[in-house]
Amino acid sequence: MTTYTNFYINGQWVKPSSADTISVYDSVTEQVMATIPAGTAADVADATRAARAAFESWSGLPREERAKYMSRIGDALAGRMDEIATVISKETGMTKMLSQLVQVGLPINSFKQAAAVAESFEYSETVGTSLVVREPIGVVGCITPWNYPLHQIAAKVAFAMAAGCTVVLKPSEVAPIDAFMLAEIIHEVGLPAGVFNMVTGTGPIVGEAIASSPDVDMVSFTGSTRAGKRVAQVGAETVKKVSLELGGKSANIIGDDLDDATFAKAVMSGVGKAFLNSGQTCSALTRMIVPASKLAEAEQHAAAAASKMKVGDPFAEGTNLGPLASSAQRDRVQGYIQKGIDEGATVLVGGLGAPEGTSNGYYVKPTVFTNVNNSMTIAQEEIFGPVLCLIPYKDIDDAVRIANDTVYGLAGGVWMSTQEKGIEIARRMRTGQVEVNGGAFNVNAPFGGYKQSGVGRELGRHGFEEFMETKSLQL
């Protein structure tokens, strides 16, 4: 077991103001793998003061200098890829191979991409008789989740710092060890004191202190819609900018014009998109909307794909799905499966209870429901586990209506006979990103949602711009 005793504030490892600690659990063994300090409002105040003091000098550095620091951090993450991926697999349950590619590979890209954007960004333009300039917004509070812990940290911290902002990070207390590793790397590369600060703890204490701090100019939050609403409410008291990346209940429309082979491919691919990271993905395509005339075929293909999923140790060869990140999350997902049964949906594959051969670990059976209508709880609320709903539609207009019939709008998918048809349908979906005919996730494209899935965008140039203010100089 690893014991972390200090926060990272103003370029140093400092003692917390409280002796309270938080246990971090291994999702595979259910044993405590680490303890971390539980921060207080006083710790946050120290961190925000340090960030405020460092802002002027950091924002005044040439863009090339800030970019060099971001690139060095990316290189150092690559040097510790295996170690960090191992930790995140224990924290979240993702298979080790995917952790290397996704949980560490994407953060490396974010630091490298943030450096590239910082160097190429147009910081000024002439509009009539005015010079319009873009400047860093100031101190940014970054509050991040447990499902893609380092990826979400990098999506905020890398772009904010590259833009010239200083940051205070509160990582999720469920998966914080990777954040300590990042802080170690930042210290080793010699980032100026106060540019990056980290305080661990709970949302109601540390998160609220960050959101309410008058020293924080912007809060960037990723997590549940419920918690995001609270961050927005608290942040409004000091009229700070709040960027939110929240929940999702994303629809995957399978076209009625596909030949049999393509239809099978689309359905089976869609099962994988729903179950990525054991379903602990805010953009997971958890509602598969299929032609009513082909529901039986969809059931057959979805059942086959889900039944092939090997659930088990994320470090074992051949494992497709590891455990969920915590006992609370496992119990939450089991509750939703029970709710689906109670409301009349049919369990096609999976269901209640732990998968065979899993005596320890927060495991859930990969579950596919059919005979689902869009008014059911399992079709409307984010489950955050390996649970897929098959929902039939009459025609393509009905499919789009069902897809948009949700308070969320984070992601989506559509698979039609041609890309042109797919794009046409994707444009009608009220959601922040749509994959067309299996299009791959682009880590440099803007990521964020419509409706109650959030406000603002992350990643790439669009994510960089979120951390900028606009000033007009009248000449």
Catalytic annotation, residues: 245, 282
Reported as half-sphere exposure (CB side, CA atoms, 13 A), residue 20 has a value of: 12
Reported as half-sphere exposure (CB side, CA atoms, 13 A), residue 120 has a value of: 10
Within 190-281, residue ranges assigned H as helices are: 208-212, 225-236, 260-275
Q: Annotate 22-76 with DSSP letters as a single string.
A: EEEE-TTT-SEEEEEE---HHHHHHHHHHHHHHHHHHHTS-HHHHHHHHHHHHHH
How many residues does this entry show for the chain? 475
Q: How many CB atoms lie within 10 A of CB 58?
A: 23
Of 43, 36, 160, the C-alpha closest to 87 is 36
281: exposed, middle or buried (Cβ count in 10 Å: 0-12, 13-18, 19+): buried
Rounded Cα distance between 293 and 391, Å, is: 12
Q: Annotate 107-167 with DSSP letters as a single string.
A: HHHHHHHHHHHHHH---EEEETTEEEEEEE--EEEEE--SSSHHHHHHHHHHHHHHTT-EE
Describe the strand order of the beta sheet including 139-143 as a list of residue ranges: 12-14, 7-9, 196-198, 166-170, 139-143, 218-222, 241-245, 454-455
**Which amino acid belongs to residue 103?**
Q
Place of tokens 């889900």: 306
Backbone dihedral angles phi then psi of residue 181, each to the nearest 5 degrees: -65, -40
**Which amino acid belongs to residue 85?**
A
470: exposed, middle or buried (Cβ count in 10 Å: 0-12, 13-18, 19+): exposed
Structure tokens at 423: 């794009």
Please report, for residues 176, 251, 295, 412, 429, the alpha-carbon distance to residue 435 in angstroms, rounded to integers and kept in the order given. 31, 11, 22, 6, 11
Query: Would you say 289 and 252 are in contact if contact means Cβ atoms under 8 Å apart?
Result: yes
